[in-house]
Amino acid sequence: MKTALVWFKTDLRIHDNETLVKAISKSDQVIPVYCIDESHFTTTDYGFQKTGSFRAQFLFEALQDLDEQLRALGSGLLVVKGKPEVEISKLVQMYHAQKVYAKREVAFEELATEKKVQAALFKLGCDFETHSTSTLYHAEDLPFTIKDIPEVFTNFRKKTEKDAEIRAPFAAPTCIASSKIPSLVLPDLAELGLEKPTIDSRAVLPFVGGERAASKRLNHYLFDSQLLSTYKETRNGMVGPDYSSKFSPWLALGCISPRYIYNKVKFYETQFGANDSTYWLVFELLWRDYFRFMFKKHKTKYFLYAGIKTEKVLSKSLNEKLLFQWINGTTNSDFINANMIELKQTGFMSNRGRQNVASYFCNELQQDWRIGAAYFEQQLIDYDVSSNWGNWAYLAGVGNDPRGHRYFNIEKQATDYDRQYAYRNLWKD
């Protein structure tokens, strides 16, 4: 009997999941697995938790949802905790699996873990197969090799839109043959050194993890409300649930795929018409692709102070007082403070806010941008390694910004985007 393990990571869904589909098609039975990687619940070199409470809570909700969906198909989710190379190997031996399927990684730490798992499986005579499941455009379909991807997003976008096709999403399986999977048991957040987050009533949304919650939000934003038709005009808002799609937390964990969203947008356009706004949502999905492909191209450079730049840059020393004021929203700027309090209290912040607080951290406070990126890694419910570090490098002037060092006039931004003080008044601590 051919037995395969499907190692779920940031692809916690059954729709458009090539890894799951291929495993089912090539195996007699499939064992879905998620490993709570102990390295994800440590303190980073910058002094922050690698995974904060908001994201951990969202993750556990997504795992619960995935387990329930898999059980409805005759399977279930086996959750283990530890080092993936150790725990996956144990399960391979326990179930006599001949192959492990997993999503393909691009960032340094994730790639290192993937290689450790592959090496451990090789010793057991077990094959390891990966599939790219995170992007709108498949890497193999790009009109250039990874090493030749343009450094400027606009050039990348224009050629990709012109010369590449977006693949159709994979249908969800209708049944899965599995051995009996034990009932799902998830650790308490306290076991991981985290506190259960409290829900702030001012939060833009009560984000709940899982593919079904992602689908519900997608249907609300597109078909129930037709908000997509005005997305471009409202996306720079800062108050309330519907100024933007808010898909990012589910995209970050792979509870929904970019291709699935794209497919729904195209259907939406047949029903309600295409315009700049319907295009703009796809445009934003392409930015996610771009940073992921850039990580594949530049590897570890996005974690260096000089980023992807070749010239020598003198790093800045840490000023703990300024860092404390920035994190806790006690700086000299009420606009920055409001954004940072929202992030601290909810694990979320608007795109407009993120650009402003990053610019303020790098330019006004003159701090090492990587410290800011590391705090976002801890705090954001929608943390995605490529988008987070790629965007921070971009705003620090050491990434892919063709204009070099981008500087935001914070007071002008506050006037432009919060003229009536609705946002600042909402997030007064």
pLDDT of residue 41: 97
Residue-wise pLDDT for 228-239, tens only, equals 999 999 999 999
How far is 220 from 226, CA to CA, in rounded Å? 8
Binned at pLDDT 50, 70 and 90, residue 196 comes out as: very high
Check residue 362 and report its DSSP letter: I
How far is 298 from 305, CA to CA, in rounded Å? 14
How far is 127 from 345, CA to CA, in rounded Å? 44
pLDDT of residue 9: 98
pLDDT of residue 199: 86
Give 195: exposed, middle or buried? Use CB within 10 Å, 0-12, 13-18, 19+: exposed
Stated pTM of the model: 0.97
pLDDT of residue 211: 98
Pair of tokens at residue 38: 């102990």
Residue-wise pLDDT for 253-268, tens only, equals 999 999 999 999 999 9
In the block, residue with structure tokens 């991981």: 192
Residue-wise pLDDT for 309-360, tens only, equals 877 666 777 899 999 999 999 999 999 999 999 999 999 999 999 999 999 9
pLDDT of residue 316: 77
pLDDT of residue 370: 96
pLDDT of residue 168: 97
pLDDT of residue 429: 76
pLDDT of residue 172: 98
What is the chain's Cα-based Rg? 22
Is 80:107 a contact under the CB 8 Å cutoff? no
Does the pLDDT at position 406 exceed 90? no
Pair of tokens at residue 369: 């941008």
How far is 418 from 23, CA to CA, in rounded Å? 50
CA 177 to each of CA 2, 34, 62, 87: distance values in angstroms, whole numbers, following the listed order: 11, 18, 22, 22
Residue-wise pLDDT for 181-195, tens only, equals 999 999 999 999 999
Is 270:261 a contact under the CB 8 Å cutoff? no
How far is 91 from 115, CA to CA, in rounded Å? 17
How far is 141 from 164, CA to CA, in rounded Å? 6
Residue 366 amino acid letter: Q
pLDDT of residue 317: 78
Residue 423 amino acid letter: Y
Pair of tokens at residue 411: 């007071």
pLDDT of residue 402: 77
Report the sign of the C-alpha dihedral through residues 211, 213, 217, 222, in that order.
Answer: positive
Residue-wise pLDDT for 354-369, tens only, equals 999 999 999 999 999 9
Instruction: Please give the backbone phi and psi of residue 79, each rounded to the nearest 5 degrees, phi first.
Output: -110, 125
Does the pLDDT at position 428 exceed 80? yes
Residue-wise pLDDT for 95-126, tens only, equals 999 999 999 999 999 999 999 999 999 999 99
Length of the chain: 429
